A and B are shown apart, each in its own frame.
Chain A
Amino acid sequence: MIYMDSSATSFLKPPQVEEAVCRAFHTMGNAGRGAHAATLGAARIIYDTREKLAELFHVSDPSRIAFTSNATESLNIAISGLISPGDHVITTACEHNSVLRPLYVKESQGAGLTILDADEKGRIAYEELEQVRREHTRAVVITHASNLTGNVTDLARVSAFTRKYGILLIVDASQTAGSIPIDVEKMGIDVLCFTGHKGLLGPQGTGGIYVREGISITPLKVGGSGIHSFDKMHPSDMPTALEAGTANGHGIAGLNAALDFLRETKVEAVHEKEMELAGRFAEKAGKIPGVTIYGDLSAKLRAPIVSLNIGELDSAAVSDILWDDYEICVRAGAHCAPLMHQALGTVEQGAVRFSFSYFNTEEEVDTAVQALLDIAEDQ
């Protein structure tokens, strides 16, 4: 089997991740619920993981990072807890439904919403930022990279705008955390939402949210915290404020091992290899007659995603042939990014998405290209 669906999840992982999860089953109790060896074992690994994430994202205080179950939960926490009726929010046509749907909920409750356009290559209309700003613009919620085109957002440009007007910058790093270096201080990010199971190479059910010092988010969930048990209100101290209930300790132990791998390998090296593979694939696939590749391939910085179609073939049918005849795993159809499909003109056809991992090989890329060539010639 050739796995090229790493933007969906990191099926290909360093072996130490699985080992760490298995070990956790034998060593971890419930963190923060006592002081015996098992509970402290869990609390130590969770704290250590928090520190490693802080190091990765250049966060000076690890307590500003709370664990969640995925980026969707993090985005719901951020949007639900920071946006009120009467506020205005700016987002883009490149967003995933994990951004759009929580924003549509807020819009239905009385918040204003402006969606920046994207062109046929999925490039955001940054020049519209100044025009669409209102007196009550509270936040820009924006992806760091499109899950469909692989285009990377110019966060320097967006944060120059948000800093100028004291607007919150909430970033969806689902496709970049662990694959592209992120420095929340330098990049002017106020809230970073990330998942643990994609570029960070950890288990599913792990994720997190970084909240800059000075920003207080009304929590989405309240409940058991292991602290302040007799208070009626959930504690407001980070990270407890956003971590009600038992953490996914076993998953976080796996994420911890994955972060060790990334620290040793370096995110820059991971990105370089992923982009070599994606670049090789795009260059060869782009030469196949009838193949259309989406996104801005000329950009210097991209995520390792190549989405394409072959002529008018249904993307679902192409992906099924790739699996059935070649055992190649890709994603097809719509990609939870409806406005991006509208901009690209692929609402009906969808798109076949190849997304690459540090663990893919050039041979696998060449096999995938040959498969596309066969399908294109056969149509």
Chain B
Amino acid sequence: MREKKKYVILSFHTTTEAMSFEKQSMSNEIPGRLIPIPREITAGCGLAWRIGVEEYSACRQKIQDLQMKYQDAVELLL
């Protein structure tokens, strides 16, 4: 069975917002990847950014400084 791990899940208003986030993440060395949005989260877009909890803590300021847009950030066991 696949072992569950805690992640921070960032949701988005639109697919365009998600794709913009991914592009900026790639060019600014922010780890993580796009996943289908887990059912626990209510959000507009069907895509979400999955990032490790520690990695998110390390990148949070950078995400803010770069004014990268997202809807919400939630911790989930996936």
Contacts and interface: CB of A to CB of B under 8 A. Distances in A.
B57 interface: no
A239 B35 CA distance: 21
A227 B44 contact: yes
B44 A62 contact: no
Interface in A34-67: 34-35, 40, 43-44, 46-48, 50-51, 62-63
B16 A226 contact: no
Interface in B17-70: 17-20, 22-23, 34-36, 44-47
Nearest to B48: A35
A226 B46 contact: yes
A62 B35 contact: no
A65 to B, nearest CB: 9
A50 B16 CA distance: 9
A43 B13 CA distance: 15
Given A44-B22, A227-B14, A237-B14, A32 B46 contact: yes
Query: What bracket does the count of chain A residues touching chain B fall in?
Result: 20 to 34
Contact of B16 (A34, A63, A228): A63
A50 B36 CA distance: 22
Contacts of A239: 14, 16
Contacts, number: 57
A33 B22 CA distance: 16
B44 A33 contact: no
Interface string A59-96: 00011000000000000000000000000000000000
A76 B23 CA distance: 32
Contact of B36 (A35, A63, A228, A229): A35
A228 B36 CA distance: 13
A47 B34 contact: no
A237 B19 contact: no
A44 B14 CA distance: 13
A34 B45 CA distance: 10
A35 to B, nearest CB: 5
A240 interface: yes
Given A47-B16, A237-B13, A237-B14, A227 B34 contact: no
A40 B14 contact: no
Contact of B47 (A32, A48, A62, A240): A32
A51 B47 CA distance: 19
Contacts of A47: 16, 19-20, 23
Given A48-B23, A226-B15, A239-B16, 13 more contacts: A31-B15, A33-B46, A35-B36, A43-B15, A44-B19, A44-B23, A47-B20, A62-B16, A63-B14, A63-B17, A227-B13, A237-B44, A239-B14
Interface of A: 31-35, 40, 43-44, 46-48, 50-51, 62-63, 226-229, 235, 237, 239-240
9 contacts: A35-B34, A40-B34, A43-B15, A44-B22, A47-B19, A47-B20, A227-B15, A235-B14, A239-B16
